[in-house]
Amino acid sequence: MNFRMEHDTMGTIAVPAEHYWGAQTQRSIENFKIGGQRQPKEIITAFAYLKEACARANAEVGKLTAVQADAIAAACAEIRGGKRDEEFPLVVWQTGSGTQTNMNVNEVIAHLTAEAGVALHPNDHVNASQSSNDTFPSALHIAAALSVAGEVLPAAERLEAAFAALEAQYPDLIRIGRTHLQDATPLKFAQEVSGWRELIAAPCRMLRLAQTELCKLAIGGTAVGTGLNAPKGYDEKVCGYLRQMTGLEFVPDANKFHALTSKDALVFAHGALKALAANLMKIANDIRFEASGPRCGMGELYIPENEPGSSIMPGKVNPTQCEAVTMVAVQVMGNDAAIGFAASQGNFQLNVFLPVSAYNFQLSTRLLTDVMDSFRVHCVEGIVPNVERMEYNLQNSLMLVTCLTPKIGYEAAAKCAKRALEEGTTLKEAVLNSGLLTVEEYDETVRPEKMV
């Protein structure tokens, strides 16, 4: 491997000649050989948006020329396009402010502009009017807002639509309900599916509310929130360019001292992701239990048979998509704990748990997006109710007795249900044997279609 010598304020260091990063990136590579988990690509993309917006704002206030700003913008477009992914090798486990990732981006941009014939310094030009302490928190919010708007919400809406289609397909099918894992009163299958649909829709509304806070940026606060070395109005100019580039309503945080040290917006937004994960867990559990069998379980749903389920039991097929959903859910819940702990560690003028917060948030958005699409395509869109099994369970349920309470009273109804269970008879036989109702009265009263 060929090397070139790069320098920073600590001296010179050898850098692989084929790469565009500089001395500070190289020092981070050598000092933090931890874990191997790289900064999320979404964070690098967010930085590429932010650096272009900062360059445009700096040109507007006279701190950069138009030529310099254009060169930075061209480099940022390359980075956002994925052409330079190999230039961002730094791991999550570095300085807690993300300074080295900020400098990684600055150094790569400076080398790209130099290659294009515009010599720029990574600190003096690319980082003009900025500090790592306001750029990384801003990139963190930009990445989170973009992932929620562009990935999670669309995937959730597709899943919600799949449940809506299933709901519309079986408008009148009645099944027995279950509470406490015990038989309950009947409901329509479509009503149950409507609950699943709303379990997706509700946390999406929460995520949209969270976007308002995620779109408040720390940019312009520089080192400690005072805005030292940033021109007046610079923060609004940066956000204006970001709005143009992304279509999201980014605005400066009104209190930069809050913006640099608090990660409450991230906690709030990830709480909505956790709510979505919790609801997905519930849906997946419902579906896999209702599809259990094929002969010795509930067996009220058929789900797609995607792959063999056992290396020893021939013919066995498992609810693998449901299991993937539940594993993602527990991972997201773990990520939420990490983000909450990290957010609690804002000391004085800066939170120094930013990279781990970014990593966990982006892991959650990526996992949820992927698993919702996988679950939809390979499971939900192929669900078919087992009508015969649903009807059998409905007619054999003792909880149909609930509709008799107004006629014969709660205690008499309970005695009939217990008698049927003890004697192994149907509810109808137990009621008729008690002499409380005639056949005609029973048939007129116990009608599941009137109970839903």
Which residues are catalytically annotated?
180, 310
**Rounded CA separation 439/431 (Å):** 9
Query: Which parts of 166-324 are beta strand (E)?
Result: 174-179, 182-188, 216-217, 251-252, 301-302
Q: How far is CA 293 from CA 37, 288, 309, 370, in A?
A: 40, 10, 13, 28
Buried residues in 424-452 as b, exposed as e (16+ CB within 10 A):
eeebbebbbeeebbeeeebeebbebeeee
Other residues' Cβ atoms within 10 Å of the Cβ of residue 213: 17
Backbone angles phi, psi at 7, to 5 degrees: -130, 155
Six-digit token string for 274: 């956790």
**Rounded CA separation 370/284 (Å):** 15
The answer to whether residues 235 and 217 touch, using CB atoms and an 8 Å cutoff, is: yes
- Count the residues in the chain: 452
- State the DSSP string of 190-228: HHHHHHHHHHHHHHHHHHHHHHHHHTEE-TT-TTTSS-T
The answer to whether residues 92 and 75 touch, using CB atoms and an 8 Å cutoff, is: no
Cα 216 off chain centre by: 19
Query: Which parts of 273-379 are beta strand (E)?
Result: 301-302, 346-347, 350-351
The answer to whether residues 23 and 15 touch, using CB atoms and an 8 Å cutoff, is: yes
Those residues whose C-beta lies under 8 Å from the C-beta of residue 412, and which sit 6 or more positions away, are: 434, 436
- State the DSSP string of 376-406: HHHTGGG-EE-HHHHHHHHHH-GGGGGGGHH
Backbone angles phi, psi at 111, to 5 degrees: -70, -35
Other residues' Cβ atoms within 10 Å of the Cβ of residue 241: 20
The answer to whether residues 138 and 102 touch, using CB atoms and an 8 Å cutoff, is: no
Q: Which residue, among 213, 363, 371, has the nearest Cα to 284 in the 3D structure?
A: 371
Six-digit token string for 352: 């120094």
